[in-house]
Structure 1
Amino acid sequence: MAQTLRLHYAPDNASLCVRIALEELGSPYQTVLVDRSKQAQRSEAYLALNPNGLIPVLETPHGPVFETAAILLWLSDTAEQLMPPPDSPDRAHALQWLFWLSNTLHGTQRMLFYPDQYTTGEVEPLRAATRRRLVDKLDLLNDAKHASWIDADEGTAQGCYLGPLLRWCAIYGGSPDWFDLARWPRLLKFAERIEKRQAVQRAASAEGLGAKPFSAPQPCDPPEGSAV
């Protein structure tokens, strides 16, 4: 990855997962702010990069890549870090959890954060049901076998994804009392461990996330842009 990569980001958005991965890899990259306060993700220029109008996009030597899990997988395979290699017996388990985080956990979170996109009726019943579903999924993850990455000391693509997801449950869940990370001791230990990594600290500093962005998160105070 000799050519500098360009990450189109907004503070405390899904681009945070990619920023952490880039910091873990030590890859040279530039950031391009997507100003959500001006709906810049819906601009013609941005839609040319990601027709879904979602953040992030990573510009690479092979063209723009969107979808957080796809970017993380591309980075990991290109750098030969953060994921087991294709011929490793651990590859399948790593892939299944990376896409579970994207399709199941993150996908469910979006229903909590943007309920009006998923119903034309009252949003609170949907939010309540979604919180219950998230609790069930976090129970599953906390007790999951074949998920040794949760307990690993090294950086992983899955860890780059999970840290921000835990943060967003605490901050953007729409109700302050539904989420207590201490309920899931394995995930709490993961959050405390990963936020001590220098890569996470650099990403947190760049986006104004505070000293404990995952285990005891506070609303972000970014030097530029807006999280919402």
Structure 2
Amino acid sequence: MKKPLAELFGTFSLVLFGCGAAGISGITATGPAGIGLLGISFAFGLAVVVMAYAIGPISGCHINPAITISMLVAGKIKAGEAIGYIVAQFVGATLAAGLLYLIQSGAPGFMMKEWALGSNGWGPGYLAAYNTTSAFVTEAVMTFVFLLVIFKTTSKWGNSSMTGLAIGLTLVLIHLVAIPITGTSVNPARSFGPAIFAGGLALKQLWLFIIAPIVGGIVAAIVWKGVFEDAVKS
């Protein structure tokens, strides 16, 4: 149970600090405030860096179902273990979102608006109001890039001492581009937790933030195994 519990804790921390920065001190559906886009990007990236070094030696620090599924496709994790990881990730994200709801509900005049608690979304009323196609392509492509970086940095040809930093900084870069489009998910669990409590459009649009990152992750696994892994070995 150590590995799933580590994944639960890691995903809990990612949502708590990342979505907490977005929902409490960063950016909302009505526009930028507080730490803004740059601050939110670093909140998510630094959360991954910290968790990579904290729980990486235990579980590998997936803290993301898209990563776990991609690793499964690449043959780097067994199906039974992957299921345990994914369940733990969704539970951790939901617990963190619940805690954020409890914290934010203590603010004067608190109201659960559309896409509350740092929820992901798209379309009219959400940040830059990009359409469904832009949202799907962004989430799939960004997850694809994210996973290729993870495959390389965690391989035996990567620099293990810099792995967490490289992955975290990649997530920062992804957020800098994708926040205005979707709020940046690249992680079905990260989207699931806040959407469960926010309801409304966040819950209705959740399908995209489950499917698109998984598609991007699967394609990354296929490309890594079919192209880049052999190139790195040579």
Q: TM-score, normalised by structure 2?
A: 0.30
- What TM-score do the two structures reach when normalised by structure 1? 0.31
